[in-house]
Structures are given as structure tokens and as C-alpha cells.
Amino acid sequence: MSTQRRILLIIGGGIAAFKSLDLIRRLRDRGFAVTPVLTPAAEQFVTPLSASALAAEKVYRDLFDLTDEAEMGHIELSRSADLIVVAPATADLMAKMAHGHANDLASTLLLATDTPVLIAPAMNVRMWEHPATRRNLATLLADGVRTIGPDEGPMACGEFGFGRMAEVPDIVAAVETALADGPLAGRHVVVTSGPTHEPIDPVRYIANRSSGAQGTAIAAALVALGARVSFVTGPASVPPPPGVEVVSVETARQMRDAVMAALPADAGVFAAAVADWRVANAADRKMKKDGSGTPPALEFAENPDILAEISSLTEDRPALVVGFAAETDNVVAHATAKRARKGCDWILANDVSEGTGIMGGSENEVTLISDAGAETWPRMGKDAVARQLAQRIAEALA
Ligand code: CTP
């Protein structure tokens, strides 16, 4: 199931169009797919090639491009996105939108769509303050169009005032707010995932077999419900899901620091397979055979228990802390004891004994242990477990 959301970005013809190239990058950084549309005037400021390269997508420019029509008609194009963003929205584009013109690709897409629209106006301050633009803006707001900016400041034309396009991070934030409609909208969740690598020397490390699949699926399911997710991941073998803020770490101590830095959060889900031990006498140069035939002696030190540490915070403790327990016997008894020992609210326990096929497999059978007792879920795919957990988290935080 793809949870990636798509933005149709209409770039109007104004000096601020150069910022729209950065906007494409920032939107992609946040996990959005971006389909750029350039007006003929926009092409005076940015090239279709740069927009296409940054978006890694085809750029649409011409209403009467028959190849495009064969591949995807303009009606379909206008409805293929989760949100249409017009940036910069020039005075002319706003006027066309307000009056329902459809004489080029951009205006036709805007008239044909039933997708929500966000505009980032940019124009000279006199044009912005002109009664015609005020009327158009009022019409657009009444039509349900969302706006971001313009900002006040010096303008390319040498004047000062309102009319500068909003800064790119503010447009990205407005995009996220416009799309935040799930039960976890406005919630922040920290998720740990994957294994940790504990160095022995600069070229060797101790690791475990965690793929990061379950943590990744949980993060994706939380994003799909509208949460902002800080995804703190060790070197996993599956890529992070779109739409999360990725913090890549290697060691348990780096993971702990990254989790602390990501707080405050409404919930924490600790799905990482954190190494319990690190090598205390890790070498800063590659260890060499000394010819004596005696292997080096590794000394171990205990790593921080991230789940226990976060659970015991007095300030900044997430309202809901969820841990995992992989057990091979007496699953419920061991996991119930682990929940008490670590001080977390929920433990998702699973039986990873040989023969269950769960370790490294695509399915999972979990028992949710909370104040309410132990509740065993039917065996299902790891994606389905993730969606079920995300739903339960949404209910608990509601
Ligand atoms: N965990 C953590 N930091 C650690 C070790 C574990 O945050 N240093 C988290 C894991 O992400 C998981 C939970 O604690 O959510 C369970 O860890 P587990 O290794 O199973 O528990 P242990 O305390 O090691 O208990 P045992 O050795 O009995 O399995």
C-alpha cells in the first residue's frame, strides 16, 4: 500500500518562481511526490528541465500537447493529486481562478479539479493592494482556496511591502496542515527502528538481524493517519517510508540521543532491536593480528535502555510509550514482567521461537499487553499489524 501523497505544483510566471524549485526539493524531502506544471510565463524564469530534474517527474506545460492527452488527460491530471499548490500565484493566475478562466493548462487544471487548492501569492505590493486583487482574493477564499503569505519585505522591483512569496519552509508547513486530516493530525510520534551497530574497531561491528520492516511499517501507518513521525533508525535493510523525518544513527547511544532530541512527542514506539551491549574497549585503529595466535579480548559495557529511559522521564514523557518484546517461551508472562520493568504503557509481544516463521518473515502474531490485560491479535501481515497499532494509538490519544 503506497501512502505517498502527491502535490500538483503549478508554477506561475513571477520572479519568485526560482523559489519554487527549492519548494520541489523540500516537498520531496518530506516524502511528497511532486508533479510540476509550468505556465508559459513561468518558463521565462525557470526551465522545464530544472523543474523536471528536481521533481524526477515529467513536467506539464501545454494544454494541447496530444502526447500528454494520450497518456493522461488534463481532467485526470487535475485530480491525480492530493493537493494542488500554486506557487507563485501571480495576480493574473488569481484573477483567472477567481473568474473561472480555462484558456491555458494551469487555469484549465484549476477549473477542472475537485482537489483542495493552496495558493502562495507573489506580486508587486501595488498589485496586491489593488481592489481587483482584493476582490479576487475574497472570491477565492469564499471558494475554499487556502492561502499562505504573501510576506512583507523588500521586493525584486525595488519597492517594499506585502507581496513577497512566503518562504519555502512556511509553504511546506501549509501543505502539511492542508493535508492533515487523519485522526493523528497534529500529533508527533517518535519511532525507533532497525538494528544498531556497535563498533569493535573502525571496520568491524556487532549487529543483529533486524531488518527494520516492522518499525518501517508502523511509521508508514502513523503517517497515513496524519501523524508527524520522527523516525530514528539504525542501519536497516529496508528504506525508510515516505513522509517521515528520518534520523539515521548507528549505535544505541546515538539512538538514545536522537530520541531525546526529537522530544516532546505525544507517543513513542520503540521497535528498534537495540544492542544490549557495546564493546567497551573498541579500538580507534583497525585491530591487527599480532602473530601470537591469541585472539583479542573484547570487553562489554551495557548500553542505555532507551525504552526504560523514556518511560521514566518526568518532564517530556510521551503520553503513550509502546515497547516490543520478542520472546521464545512464556510470552505473556515474560512480556508482562518486561512492561513492568521498563515502565512503558504498552508492550507488543511476539513469539519468535523457531517454527513460528515470524523472525524475518512477512507475518506477525502479537499480543498487546496494557493495563487492561493481554489481548492476542490474529496472525496477520506486518503491514496489517502496523495499521492496527496506529489505529489503537490514535484511539488512545484521542
Ligand atoms: N530497547 C531499548 N533500548 C535497549 C534495549 C531495548 O529501547 N537498549 C527496547 C526495544 O526497542 C524494545 C524493548 O526495549 O521495544 C524490548 O527489548 P528487549 O531487548 O526484548 O528487552 P530486554 O530488556 O533486553 O529483555 P530480555 O533480555 O529479557 O529480552
pLDDT of 116-132, one tens digit each?
899 999 999 999 999 99
242 in the same domain as 135 = no
Of 162, 179, 196, the one marking the end of a domain is: 179
Q: Could you say which of 117, 146, 179 is where a domain stops? A: 179
The tens digit of pLDDT for each residue in 220-272 reads 999 889 898 999 999 999 998 877 888 999 999 999 999 999 999 999 999 99
The predicted model scores a pTM of 0.64
CA dihedral 353, 356, 361, 364 (to 10 degrees): -100
151 and 269: one domain?
no
| Identity at 247, one-letter amino acid code | V
- Cis ω on the peptide bond leading into residue 36 (within 30° of 0)? no
* Host domain of residue 369: 182-398
Q: What is the pLDDT of residue 1?
A: 41
Integer distance in angstroms from the first to the last C-alpha of the chain? 25
Q: Do residues 83 and 218 share a domain?
A: no
List, in order, residues 6 or more apart from 142 with CB less than 8 Å away.
none
- Domain match, 190 and 166 both: no
Helices (H), strands (E): how many in the chain?
14, 21
What residue ranges line ligand 1, CB within 6 angstroms? Answer: 192, 252, 270, 272, 274, 276, 303, 305-307, 323-326, 338
**What number does the ligand 1 atom closest to the CA of 347 have?**
15
> Does the annotation count 157 as an active-site position?
yes
Both 174 and 186 in one domain: the answer is no
The DSSP bridge partners found for residue 375 are: 368
Q: Whose CA is nearest to atom 21 of ligand 1?
A: 325
Beta bridge partners of 368: 348, 375
Same-domain check for residues 162 and 70 = yes
Annotated catalytic residue, options 132, 157, 203, 319: 157
Closest CA to 214 of 391, 350, 318: 350
Looking at the fold, whether 127 and 251 belong to one and the same domain comes out as no
pLDDT for 66: 46
- Reduced to 3 states (helix: H, G, I; strand: E, B; else coil), residue 27 is helix
* Same domain membership, residue 162 and residue 218: no
Asked if 44 and 117 sit in the same domain, the reply is yes
As a whole number of angstroms, the distance between CA 120 and CA 170 comes to: 10
- Number of Cβ within a 10 Å radius of residue 170: 14
Closest residue CA from atom 12 of ligand 1: 324
Among the listed residues 93, 193, 106, 104, the one whose alpha carbon sits nearest the alpha carbon of residue 137? 93
Ligand 1 midpoint to CA 178 (Å): 38
Please state the domain count of the chain: 2
What's the grid cell of residue 106?
Answer: 494551469
What pLDDT score was predicted for residue 330? 93
Question: Ligand 1: which of 193, 324, 332 to mutate, judged by most atoms within 8 Å of the beta carbon?
Answer: 324
What's 332's domain CATH number?
A: 3.40.50.10300
Give the distance (Å) from ligand 1 centre to CA of residue 203. Answer: 26
Output the CA torsion sign for 195, 196, 197, 200.
negative
In this structure, the answer to whether residues 366 and 223 fall within a common structural domain is yes
pLDDT at 236: 96
Q: Which of 133, 160, 179 delimits the end of a domain?
A: 179
Kindly give the distance from the C-alpha atom of residue 270 to the centroid of ligand 1, in angstroms, as a whole number: 9
Residues (pLDDT < 70) of the chain are 1-3, 66-72
Rounded to the nearest whole angstrom, what is the distance from the C-alpha of residue 287 to the centroid of ligand 1? Answer: 30
Taking the C-alpha atoms of residue 107 and residue 284, their distance in angstroms, rounded to an integer, is 62
Pair 107, 90: CB distance under 8 Å = no
Residue 230 shares a structural domain with residue 378: yes
Do residues 152 and 254 share a domain?
Answer: no
Spatial distance between the Cα atoms of 246 and 232, rounded to a whole number of angstroms: 6
